[in-house]
Each structure stands twice: as C-alpha cells, then as structure tokens.
C-alpha cells in the first residue's frame, strides 16, 4: 500500500515528521524477521508493498475450499506442475504475499532453495470471504504488475461462478470473465490441462 502524501495546516492531515517516519520493509528484511524469530510460523502475516499485513483467520469453509482447489488442481496437473498452498511468492523487492493456492512450474527442488518468483507462477487462486475487497483492490493489481498470467478469485459469498482475471498489464488485468457451473477452465501454461468449475465450487 503506497505511502499517503503528508499535508500540513489545520485540516487534520498528518505532519511531515510523521510521514517521514514511515519506511517500507524489503522482502529480505521481512525474511530475516522470520529467521530471527521476530515473526513466528504462527503469525498470519504477509508483506504487501513494504507493509506487514495481518491476514484474516481461516474459517472452516475457507479451509475446505482451499483443500478442494488443491486436490482438484493436483489431480489434473500430476507431476507437470507444483500445487503451492498458502506459501510465499516473491513478487518484487517489497511484496511477498501468500496466495491461497499457486500453480507453479515444476522444479526438482520443489522451491526449497528459494521462494517462487513471478516467472515461476502459472496461476494464482484466492479464496475470499471477508477479504474479497482486499483481494480485488490490493492483491489483484500487485499480481498484474508482477506479470502473473492469471488469477482466479473464489468468492465464498457467491456459489455459482469464479472470477477469472487474465492478460496482466501495469495497470491491472485487461480481461475478466465469470466462469460458471458446468464450464471448464483451461490451466494457463499447461497444454490440454482443463479443470471443471464445479470441482472448485463443490
């Protein structure tokens, strides 16, 4: 989230000193916080544009839908790709989100030596409940700027379709469609790999 410009005067804006005190963390600094124990494995946080953001607790419906997506994707891709669940993706110097599910290019080390980067990511799936506005307005533009080919948003409040965002640009995704029950989705980057929408919606 970009720093807000400071304003002086009597309008209640923050002072120059307060604005100057803000700084963004880099991915390297963020990772060092984890290595040193400042951030623990149980901390539900992610780094978004240099800010450490607390993520919402995972409810049973959210967890079940993530598990359903993991199983459906793994069944279709086999060993041609890696299904990466609620793990970090390094988008750039200042952002390391943890998408609910990422589909990654296959690597023999399973990304043990480094986190995946945008060039490694075929697809991101976000399961959204209370976070749907955040996913659409904050994370989706980040994925687009990083060049992630396609993002699916599964809104738990909507039972009959999945949001499909594709054709990334610096300004966001140029293409959007609603994939509805009974339809089939092509998995980006994997020839002849297709997934039924119903397999994700249940």
pTM: 0.86
What per-residue confidence (pLDDT) applies to 2? 40
Report the C-alpha gap between 62 and 58 in whole angstroms.
6
Report the C-alpha gap between 126 and 57 in whole angstroms.
14
64 CB burial (10 A radius; 0-12, 13-18, 19+): middle
Q: pLDDT digit of tens for each residue in the chain (202 aa)?
A: 343 333 334 444 544 555 556 789 999 999 999 999 999 888 899 999 999 999 888 999 999 999 999 999 999 999 999 999 999 999 999 999 999 999 999 999 999 999 999 999 999 999 998 889 999 999 999 999 999 999 999 999 988 899 999 999 999 999 999 999 999 999 999 999 999 999 999 8
- Tokens 């002072």, residue located: 15
Domains and CATH numbers, the chain: 16-54 (no CATH), 60-201 (3.90.1570.10)
């Amino acid at each position: 989230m970009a720093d807000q410009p400071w304003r002086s005067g009597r309008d209640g804006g923050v002072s120059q000193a307060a604005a100057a005190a803000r700084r963004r963390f880099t991915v390297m600094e963020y990772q060092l916080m984890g290595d040193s124990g400042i951030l623990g494995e149980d901390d539900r946080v992610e780094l978004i544009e240099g800010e450490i953001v607390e993520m919402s607790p995972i409810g049973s419906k959210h967890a079940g839908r993530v598990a359903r997506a993991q199983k459906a994707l793994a069944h279709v891709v086999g060993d041609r790709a890696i299904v990466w669940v609620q793990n970090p993706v390094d988008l750039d110097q200042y952002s390391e989100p943890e998408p609910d599910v990422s589909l990654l290019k296959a690597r023999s080390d399973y990304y043990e030596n480094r986190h995946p980067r945008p060039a490694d990511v075929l697809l991101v799936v976000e399961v959204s409940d209370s976070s749907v506005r955040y996913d659409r307005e904050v994370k989706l533009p980040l994925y687009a700027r990083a060049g992630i080919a396609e993002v699916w948003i599964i809104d738990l409040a909507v039972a009959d379709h999945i949001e499909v965002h594709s054709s990334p640009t610096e300004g966001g995704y140029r293409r959007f469609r609603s994939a509805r029950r009974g339809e089939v989705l092509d998995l980006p980057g994997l020839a002849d790999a297709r997934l039924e929408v119903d397999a994700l919606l249940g």
